[in-house]
Amino acid sequence: MNDKNLTVADGRVVRIEYTLTVAGGEMVDSSAEEGPLEFLQGAGEIIPGLEAALYGLAVGEHKQVVVTPDLAYGEYDPDNVQIVDLDSFEEDVELEPGMMLEFFDEENDETIEGYVSEIQPDGVVIDFNHWLAGETLHFDVKVVAVRPATPDEIEHGHSHGGEHAQ
Ligand code: ZN
């Protein structure tokens, strides 16, 4: 399946190993935890700034990629927070700053994630920004495999490899 001569291009399924570091040098994510990341190049499966930097890389190649927030998870929006009444949480929930919670957004009929940013006497400040919003991301990437996508993958707009097949 793996063709050593293929480089990263649209319509190819790419597998990368990576570490992700934010300003200050803190490593926040790494493929060492869940294994290499596989995706269909050109389909927007990964953040735009990383996808753009991978074109033309061959299997075995390493690259340092710096991605500004506009090409990653967006700028931090200070208005994208809400104060939720303490009464609206189940009594047995132990709220802690940093805790990720799911909310149902009735307006858009979808589930959204937010995290507890502050607990006040009468309410909880929930932040709906992505936890990496506003961060400049430093990736250390290595391409470990490239193969042509199957017609199904092209049609679906995502990779069917690994355990994430669907
Ligand atoms: Zn699919």
Q: How far is the CA of 33 from the centre of ligand 1 (A)?
A: 24
Q: How far is the CA of 13 from the centre of ligand 1 (A)?
A: 13
pLDDT at residue 3 above 70? no
Q: Is residue 160 part of a domain?
A: no
Q: How far is the CA of 109 from the centre of ligand 1 (A)?
A: 23
Burial 99-108 (b: 16+ CB within 10 A, else e): eeeeeeeeee
8 and 67, same domain (yes or no): yes
Q: How far is the CA of 71 from the centre of ligand 1 (A)?
A: 25
User: How many whole angstroms separate alpha carbon 102 and alpha carbon 150?
Assistant: 35
pLDDT at residue 16 above 90? yes
Structural contact between residues 31 and 16, judged by C-beta atoms closer than 8 angstroms? yes
143 and 104, same domain (yes or no): no
pLDDT band at 105 (very low <50, low <70, confident <90, very high): confident
Q: Is residue 68 part of a domain?
A: yes
| The residue to which tokens 């998870």 are assigned | 73
pLDDT band at 161 (very low <50, low <70, confident <90, very high): confident
Q: How far is the CA of 39 from the centre of ligand 1 (A)?
A: 11
Q: For the chain, how big is the Rg over CA atoms in Å?
A: 19
CATH code of the domain in which 104 resides: 2.40.10.330
User: How many whole angstroms separate alpha carbon 145 and alpha carbon 158?
Assistant: 16
Q: Is 126 exposed, middle or buried (0-12, 13-18, 19+ CB in 10 A)?
A: buried
27 and 60, same domain (yes or no): yes
47 and 121, same domain (yes or no): no
Q: How far is the CA of 154 from the centre of ligand 1 (A)?
A: 9
Q: Is residue 166 part of a domain?
A: no
Q: Is residue 146 part of a domain?
A: yes
pLDDT at 90: 82
CATH code of the domain in which 62 resides: 3.10.50.40
- SS3 for 46-79 is CCHHHHHHHCCCECCCEEEEEECHHHCCCCCCCC
58 and 15, same domain (yes or no): yes
Strand ranges inside the chain, DSSP E: 12-21, 27-30, 37-40, 62-67, 81-85, 100-105, 110-120, 123-127, 137-148
Q: How far is the CA of 159 from the centre of ligand 1 (A)?
A: 7
Number of domains in the chain: 2
pLDDT band at 91 (very low <50, low <70, confident <90, very high): confident
User: Domain limits at 82?
Assistant: 78-127
Q: Which two tokens stand for residue 93?
A: 């929930």
